[in-house]
Amino acid sequence: MTPYRYEATGRNRRTLVALVVVWTLILAAIALLDASLILMALIALCTAPALYDLISGRSAGLALASDGLSWFAGRRAGDIAWDKIDHIRLDTRLDFSVRASAVLTSGRKVRVPLEATPPADTFETVLTDRGITVKRHHFSLLG
């Protein structure tokens, strides 16, 4: 089995563009529409996680090797041997993000951190090519 690696970082162009757009809209609302400073500050506060990711440049990733699945995200890390994994479950959430979970043979679910999860279609293809069962669940509220 050829190894597969995925890595991502919070320091990327999409995050920077999103922050610039949101802050520009906030400043425009204050200047042009006389928007409430408290309300705009609350909206700006919602961008704090993205700002933290941009400043820290924290990296995350996932690897598929012959012995198992491993991932890291900031200080968190984990690995699971293939013989303990029954299948990989990919859940599409209402915000269109995809959460990956390794469902163990014991029935327990181990969630892969969102920032360490590769794009869903690519991840599913790579797993299926390796003979790993993948179960997709779209827009489930529980699970």
User: Pairing relation of β-strands 134-138 and 59-64?
Assistant: unpaired
- Tell me the residue ranges of DSSP E strands in the chain: 4-9, 59-64, 68-73, 76-81, 85-92, 98-104, 109-112, 134-138
- Rounded CA-CA distance 99/109 in Å is 12
User: Pairing relation of β-strands 134-138 and 85-92?
Assistant: parallel
Extract the tokens encoding 110: 């181990």
- Rounded CA-CA distance 121/96 in Å is 13
Instruction: Give the pLDDT confidence score for residue 141 in this predicted structure.
Output: 62
**Phi/psi at 137 (5° precision):** -135, 120
Rounded to 5°, the CA angle 124-113-46 comes to: 120
Instruction: Give the pLDDT confidence score for residue 7 in this predicted structure.
Output: 93
Residue spans of the chain under pLDDT 50: none
- Give the list of residues 6+ apart from residue 18 with CB closer than 8 angstroms, or none: 50
Instruction: Give the pLDDT confidence score for residue 142 in this predicted structure.
Output: 59
- Rounded CA-CA distance 59/93 in Å is 23
